[in-house]
Chain A
Amino acid sequence: MQNYDLATGSLRELNETLHAQNHNTNQTAWEIENPKGAHAIACGLDAPIEVTVKGSTGYYSAGMNQQATVNITGSAGPGVAENMMSGKVVIDGDASQYAGATGHGGLLVIKGNASSRCGISMKGINIVVHGSIGHMSAFMAQSGNLVVCGDAGDALGDSCYEARLFVRGSVKSLGADCEQKEMRAEHLEILKALLAESESDAKPEEFKRYGSARNLYNFNIDNAY
């Protein structure tokens, strides 16, 4: 286990050290102490390493992550795991706005609640929130899966494309062009796998699925000029 203390070291040195790890590294486990809400911790990683941040983080923790597993034992600030490509990010506490924004791949697990705009513009990432999510979540969500074990706020899935949105609790309101969809066997399989990987005891059958009504995909052809 490698340790790095942000009380005595710098963010630049920490990220530079983590970026220097590659596929062949034998330093695969890292523990970061005293994050104290610092921004951009462990962003831009690209190696099969596991990084545990002991505490809460500021903006953009694990941003653009590739391959790595990042655990945050506290809560995460805005934009955690934004534009994640692959790997896994797990937050024991809550996540602020824009969690998993524009993510292309990998798995983001939020064991607490997520604030507004969770999964905004998601492009293939899987997000599992054990608690509830705020308003405008999955806005313009393109692909991937957003699983919410609690409730969803206003305007869920507004203007979304092909992302699958699963909510176990209530949805305060659906956004423009988002509708409840049929839950088929294939969706239950997706849910089963994601719930298991994110250590949730929720049952796939308890969820409803939402997605795009596809009415906004093209300008009304009657108006074409």
Chain B
Amino acid sequence: MNKYDRGIPHTTPRQSATFNQDVNSDIRRAAATGIYDIRGGGAKRKLPTFDDLLFLGASISRYPLEGYREKCDTNVTIGGLNAKNPIHLDIPITIAGMSFGALSGPAKEALGRGASEAGTSTTTGDGGMTQEERGHSSKLVYQYLPSRYGMNPNDLRKADAIEIVVGQGAKPGGGGMLLGQKISDRVAQMRNLPKGIDQRSACRHPDWTGPDDLEIKILELREITGWQVPIYVKVAGARPYYDTTLAIKAGADAIVLDGMQGGTAATQDVFIEHVGQPTLAIVRPAVKALQDLGMHRKVQLILSGGIRSGADVAKAMALGADAVAIGSAALIALGDNDPKWEAEYNKLGTTAGAYDDWHEGQDPAGITTQDPELMKRFDPIEGGRRLRNYLKVMTLEAQTIARACGKNHLHNLEPEDLVALTMEAAAMAQVPLAGTDWWPGKSGSF
């Protein structure tokens, strides 16, 4: 007779916090395949975020602006320091770089349509500039990446700005990846690669290393484009104080700073979850670098990585950013991970909201694919309309908060408008823990 049959009380079966079901499934997958897991998207782990901050709003000492009638501007100019033609945006929410290849042509078209209707810019990605995107984007930022796929001076001169990509929040220090399922004839032709191979992009630029070289590279790009357009430098949120300092030193007109919630089309899961810093943690060091060099508001800071709402926009700007960029949120607005495709997500072994195998090219929503049949499911006009609406809502939300804080421009939001709910958020954002006048490390330096 065993102890159970003898009626001895026993403990409830208890799952391990260390070896939980997610971890165990990772171990089983690794044991079965012998290769690391590759996926798209950004960090899924719980991180300190802008949700850990609150606005104080107005009170006796601060008076609010009337919520619906008083002016609260949202415009931003990027690249006025050196470019003859800086970019003027109606709203401070831009569309982040996402490649043709990772996305379908119609999806790129929709991004251009939605961004243009909302008065903002969109951005190319690894793989070059497509007609769909240039044709439908009133303001298009051309990414200059380590791979230089599709890079040519004619497209460079068609751009409204150039973004030199040094790093990406999802994978600081890593290169791009586009698996063979998505290397169609057109993608292969644009990238000058054999069709169907698993394409890996370089992790660093082929013809410069370090900030001194970068300064000369920026000079070359300015000479080729006649000093007409702004040059951004995009860095991952790895060492934001020093990277921002060095990018300014190299002559950047704007810094794009990407936290680890920022998405990627594909890379190793271990990279996404364990390299980089949360977006909340990187903005203040970057702003301090700009302030230390007397360049805050002269060189613009565009923050990205997990921006989802007007509240996130307002918080980013209160901490010192000039604008934000969205990628994953824009894809969701287009229809990515929509529950209406739940049955098809189930066939792929996942569920709406969790689908991240974008690299496999089987996206039921027809967005992250090169499959002609799947692409037919996505209407770029409707997608553009949805993105425009989403951008409009985010802007209205940010304005609502700004007015409540008594600000007549989103840029007038400031750290003093914020408190933090957690010690971590207080330390990262350098705003007081709610109910106190203190944050950890208040007297420290970077």
Contacts and interface: CB of A to CB of B under 8 A. Distances in A.
B242 interface: no
Contacts of B198: 217-219
B226 A19 contact: yes
Closest 9 CB pairs of A and B: A44-B224, A223-B35, A98-B207, A79-B207, A102-B148, A64-B153, A101-B207, A217-B197, A60-B220
A9 to B, nearest CB: 14
Interface string B174-218: 000001100000000000111011101010001110000100110
Interface string A1-29: 00000000001100110010000000000
Contacts of B225: 44
Interface of B: 29, 32-35, 37, 147-148, 151-153, 156, 179-180, 192-194, 196-198, 200, 202, 206-208, 213, 216-217, 219-220, 223-227
8 contacts: A43-B223, A64-B153, A83-B148, A101-B207, A120-B207, A161-B194, A223-B34, A225-B37
B223 A11 contact: yes
Given A43-B224, A59-B213, A120-B206, A83 B29 contact: no
B226 A16 contact: yes
A104 to B, nearest CB: 7
A117 interface: yes
A58 interface: yes
Contacts of A106: none
Contacts, number: 105
B31 to A, nearest CB: 12
Given A85-B153, A98-B207, A222-B34, 5 more contacts: A15-B223, A16-B226, A40-B219, A66-B153, A98-B206
A121 B194 contact: no
Contact of B197 (A78, A123, A218): A218
A117 B151 CA distance: 19
Contact of A225 (B32, B180, B197, B202): B32
Contact of B192 (A43, A98, A123, A217): A123
Interface in A111-148: 117, 120-121, 123-124, 139-140, 142-143
A101 B206 contact: yes
Nearest to B227: A12
A218 B180 contact: yes
A58 B35 contact: no
A39 B148 contact: no
Interface of A: 11-12, 15-16, 19, 39-40, 43-44, 46, 58-60, 63-64, 66, 78-79, 82-83, 85, 97-98, 101-102, 104, 117, 120-121, 123-124, 139-140, 142-143, 159, 161-162, 217-220, 222-225
A121 B153 contact: no
Given A101-B207, A161-B193, A83 B223 contact: no
Contact of B153 (A46, A139, A161): A46
A140 B152 contact: no
Contacts of B180: 218
A223 B220 contact: no
Question: Interface centre among B153, B196, B198, by most A CB within 10 Å?
Answer: B153
Contacts of B192: 104, 123-124, 142-143
A78 B208 CA distance: 8
Nearest to B29: A225
Contacts of B206: 82, 98, 101-102, 117, 120-121, 139-140
A73 to B, nearest CB: 21
Contacts of A159: 200
A78 B152 contact: no
Nearest to A19: B226
Question: Interface centre among B34, B196, B208, B224, by most A CB within 10 Å?
Answer: B224
A225 B35 contact: yes
A63 to B, nearest CB: 5
A59 to B, nearest CB: 5
A15 B227 CA distance: 11
A16 B226 CA distance: 7
Contacts of A123: 148, 192
A19 B223 CA distance: 10
Contacts of B179: 219
A60 B33 CA distance: 45
A217 B194 contact: yes
B223 A121 contact: no
A59 B217 CA distance: 8
Contacts of A224: 33
A224 B216 CA distance: 43
Contact of B220 (A43, A46, A121, A225): A43
A218 B182 CA distance: 13
A140 to B, nearest CB: 6
A63 B35 CA distance: 40
Contact of B152 (A104, A121, A139, A161): A104
A63 B219 CA distance: 12
A224 B360 CA distance: 11
Contacts of A44: 153, 223-225
A46 B224 CA distance: 10
Nearest to A144: B192
Contacts of B32: 225
Contact of B202 (A104, A140, A218): A140
Contacts of B156: 64
A11 to B, nearest CB: 7
A60 B194 CA distance: 29
Nearest to B33: A225
Nearest to A41: B223
A224 B38 CA distance: 11
